Amino acid sequence: MIAPEVSRPEPPFQAGEREMLESWLDFHRSTLLWKCAGLDDTQLKQRASAPSTLTLLGLVRHMTEVEHVWFGRFVGNQEPVPYSSEQRPEADFEDVDDADAAADYAAFERQCARSREWVAGRGLDETFLGRRGHKISLRWIYVHMIEEYARHNGHADMIREAIDGTTGD
């Protein structure tokens, strides 16, 4: 599989809070896929550097799970995450050698669409009770997701540059 080309919609410079949060999250979702664009399966599975298990495909798998966990918890979803388990908490990163990149990309895109559906029409001030007993708002989830993607997109920048020298914002 060669990772598909991706377009990245630029977030607006002026917008309401919800549109701004959704736009920045979509920008970062697209950025992760953009960092993978044009690479084959072997390149997507190339480790950052020993002993790290960090790969571009692992980042896609990880963010699929992060989307599933945070937006899923908000709506009360109890389904298990797709890759990791209590016994293998890092399987999203560690189990990429035999992974099907096309299937993992499709799972990522399905989960992003599902996340959007789960929160459509929900208020930013709506909350759920987190694992540690904190009330967590949908606004907090959006901000956390943007932060999570931004951090991992920085990792993706470095991995991509090591693979083929490609750099970019």
* 3-state helix vs strand vs coil in the chain, percent to 5: 55, 5, 40
Q: Is 28 in contact with 146 (CB distance < 8 Å)? A: yes
pLDDT tens string 86-131: 999 999 999 999 999 999 999 999 999 999 999 999 999 999 998 8
When the pLDDT of each residue in the chain is averaged and rounded to a whole number, the result is 94
**pTM, rounded to two decimals:** 0.95
pLDDT at 6: 84
The proportion of the chain whose per-residue pLDDT surpasses 70, expressed as a percent, equals: 98
